[in-house]
Amino acid sequence: MDTHRDGPDLAHQRPEGVSDETVEALGALSKALEITERARGHLYSFHQMTGGADLQLDQAVELLRKAGHPEWADRVESEILGRNVIPGHWTFQIVEAYDATYHRPFTRLNREAVNQLAQGRDHLYEAEMKEARRTAGRPDHTARPAGAPLE
């Protein structure tokens, strides 16, 4: 077998009997999961930014006291510093709930679908798109990284 052929590795080749519709459906499922990964990243940004703002309040309280406004310092300290962002929750709890309730189940379902419907081969839709769009034999249009085996 010629392992130097210019084509996708085995992990990115469609298994026998997998239909175009199945590849397209798994591609759509994968894209939806990728969108949730981005949403999760934004959720972590929200978590870190809100936490950073809360920590910055320490300086605001200190400066309000130094500026002779202890009543405002007390209000910031008692009304905003350490406050829940939604009832009963700090941002870390929102992240944990998202992960447990949505992200992990979605990730598991996607993995199970790929395993059962495509013999565990990920990104078949994208791999086939790459094959259709690249110019075989041209530098920077190779199917695999240099030295990567076909199988």
Cα dihedral 52, 55, 56, 62, rounded to 10, equals: 180
Give me the phi and psi of 136, to 5 degrees please: -55, 140
Instruction: Determine contact, residues 98/40, Cβ cutoff 8 Å.
Output: yes
Residues found in the chain: 151
Question: Does residue 68 carry a pLDDT above 70?
Answer: yes
What pLDDT shows up at residue 3? 45
Q: Which residue has the higher pLDDT, 2 or 128?
A: 128
Band (1; pLDDT cuts 50, 70, 90): very low
| pLDDT tens string 24-40 | 999 999 999 999 999 99
Strand partners, 89: 86
| pLDDT tens string 71-110 | 999 999 999 999 999 999 999 999 999 999 999 999 999 9
| pLDDT tens string 125-150 | 999 999 999 998 888 898 888 877 77
CA neighbor of 50 nearest in space, from 101, 104, 94: 94
How do the domains of the chain map onto residue ranges?
A: 35-133
Q: What global pTM score does this model have?
A: 0.83
